[in-house]
Amino acid sequence: MQADVKRTLTKQGMNMRQLGTYALRGFLAVALALALAIGWSSWQGDQRAGWTDVTWKLGDQGLDLASSIQVELNRETKANANSPGQLLYVRAPGLGLDQAFASGDDLRSNDDVRVASNTKTFVAAMALQLVEAGKVQLDGPIGPALSPAVKAMMERNGYQIDTISMRQLLNHTSGIPDYFQVPLFEVLALVPNAYGVSAHWTAENEIWFAVTFGRKDVVGENFNYADTNYLIAADIIKQATGSSTIGVAARKMLAWPKIGADETYWEAMEPEPAGTRRAVQYRGAIKDSDVDVSYDQYGGGGLVMSMDDLGRATRAVVLGEVFTNPVATRLLMQTPGPDPKGEGYGLGLYPTKLHGELCWGHGGYWGTAAVYCPRLDLTLARSTGQANAQQTDREGSGALSALILAAQAAERARVKATND
């Protein structure tokens, strides 16, 4: 009897060990599959990286300026085969030019793209409109202005909503981390895209990831670029205006057609205007334009624009045309906060200094950028269509440098003609 019991217990023990072995093997197999899936997705997202600078030579071909720009844009696009093509808009009254360009297979100059973080310029402008109207405090605490859901999650995680201000949200000194600085969110948001799958996120989801798992910083001291800041700013704007979405608020407050942006719309919040067409956009080898990118849709990004819309609307904001008090508010918007790189990020704008000119604008994740140079009244907006192909504006390369030099030369010629 005792022997039978012993044999039974021994057999059960062996079975448990076998089950444990199978469970461990299953777990390791799943972990390996996940690691391979994540690795493959990351590898796909890292492909086609880099940008080859090209020195533009406007006027060297004996062509008119518009034709010369097209030639140089084609040459630059050819030198950067990792980009699916470029879109460019130039407005330069001093050069007699107001025109959109395209270079690449099946691209049209008026194609629309997701402008990603260029959206921040317009969210900041909306916030400052509310400051002008006395509906939002620029330097007061954000706590009373937050929606109940966002307020609760920030309080629960120890954020100083009685100290953080709208200014600190807009110049990225709030101490609030970016949700993309949370590795788990990055994996959940980006890995499925490599397989044509995409999760749908809400602004509240993204803020929750940031304030729950991110590392907070000292309020008001350090610059940390974070989309979370602009999601919270958008939350405040919705509350102050009673709008159902930030897209609804933007259409009412910025009146897109009045500032030359008649094709502009907020993705997933507004219908796509009739007659418009979207260009493809990539993150490495992944065609992001085919998937839901709600991880970049609620204030840190979200707008879809053509390059002429983006250029004209950026110019209107930098000039203060969207404000009741244009001079004072645009200067406020261009006041730099703490920035360790020394670039002087303002409120939804950062400065670019080339050839003695001070220009203001912003860039976006999928290779978009818009700048306006006030003294020359020069506007440029561009898209490379590739997150891994980011141009850097610097003297001696690219369209902006060449156009500034051309505008300065035209200015000198006009002065000389007047004096003669």
In angstroms, the CA 143 to CA 122 distance is 22
In angstroms, the CA 260 to CA 201 distance is 31
pLDDT tens readout for residues 208-258:
999 999 999 999 989 999 999 999 999 999 999 999 999 999 999 999 999
Q: Are residues 11 and 151 in the same domain?
A: no
Say how many Å lie between the first and final Cα of the chain, rounded: 122
Tokens of 294: 């709600």
The answer to whether residue 278 is domain-embedded is yes
187/11: higher pLDDT: 187
Q: What local confidence, expressed as pLDDT, does residue 348 receive?
A: 97
The answer to whether residue 91 is domain-embedded is no
Residue 323 scores a pLDDT above 90: yes
Mean pLDDT of the chain: 92
Q: What local confidence, expressed as pLDDT, does residue 34 receive?
A: 59
Q: Are residues 393 and 276 in the same domain?
A: yes
Range with lowest mean pLDDT among 48-57, 362-371, 372-381: 48-57
Domain CATH for 308: 3.40.710.10
Q: Are residues 147 and 245 in the same domain?
A: yes
Residue 17 scores a pLDDT above 80: no
In angstroms, the CA 388 to CA 382 distance is 15
Got the DSSP string for 230-255?
A: HHHHHHHHHHHHT-SSHHHHHHHHH-
Q: What local confidence, expressed as pLDDT, does residue 45 receive?
A: 79
Tokens of 56: 């533009």
Q: Which residue, among 382, 417, 415, 416, has the nearest Cα to 401 in the 3D structure? A: 382
pLDDT tens readout for residues 257-283:
999 999 999 999 999 999 999 999 999
Q: What local confidence, expressed as pLDDT, does residue 46 receive?
A: 85
pTM reported for the whole predicted model: 0.92
Q: Are residues 366 and 260 in the same domain?
A: yes
In angstroms, the CA 371 to CA 361 distance is 4
Q: What local confidence, expressed as pLDDT, does residue 62 receive?
A: 85
The answer to whether residue 192 is domain-embedded is yes
In angstroms, the CA 391 to CA 397 distance is 10
232 phi/psi in degrees, rounded to 5: -70, -40
**Cβ(361)–Cβ(350) under 8 Å?**
yes
Q: Are residues 183 and 297 in the same domain?
A: yes
pLDDT range class, residue 9, cuts 50, 70, 90:
very low
Residue 175 scores a pLDDT above 80: yes
pLDDT range class, residue 420, cuts 50, 70, 90:
confident
- 3-class DSSP string for 273-307: CCCCCECCCEECCEEHHHCCCHHHCCCCCCEEEEH
The answer to whether residue 144 is domain-embedded is yes
Q: Are residues 180 and 289 in the same domain?
A: yes
Containing domain of residue 372, as a range?
A: 112-407
Q: Are residues 6 and 150 in the same domain?
A: no
Looking at the chain, the whole-number percentage of residues with pLDDT higher than 70 is 90
How many independent structural domains does the chain possess?
2
pLDDT tens readout for residues 388-407:
998 889 999 999 999 999 99
**Cβ(382)–Cβ(86) under 8 Å?**
yes
pLDDT range class, residue 194, cuts 50, 70, 90:
confident
pLDDT tens readout for residues 299-314:
999 999 999 999 999 9
Q: Are residues 120 and 26 in the same domain?
A: no
The answer to whether residue 3 is domain-embedded is yes
The answer to whether residue 57 is domain-embedded is no
CB under 8 Å to 405, separation ≥6 — which residues? 58, 355
CB under 8 Å to 88, separation ≥6 — which residues? 69, 73, 100, 101, 102, 103, 307, 380, 381, 382, 383, 399
The answer to whether residue 193 is domain-embedded is yes
Q: What local confidence, expressed as pLDDT, does residue 231 receive?
A: 98
Q: What local confidence, expressed as pLDDT, does residue 48 receive?
A: 85
Looking at the chain, the whole-number percentage of residues with pLDDT higher than 90 is 81
Q: What local confidence, expressed as pLDDT, does residue 21 receive?
A: 72
pLDDT range class, residue 2, cuts 50, 70, 90:
low
Q: What is the mean pLDDT of residues 69-92?
A: 97
The answer to whether residue 280 is domain-embedded is yes
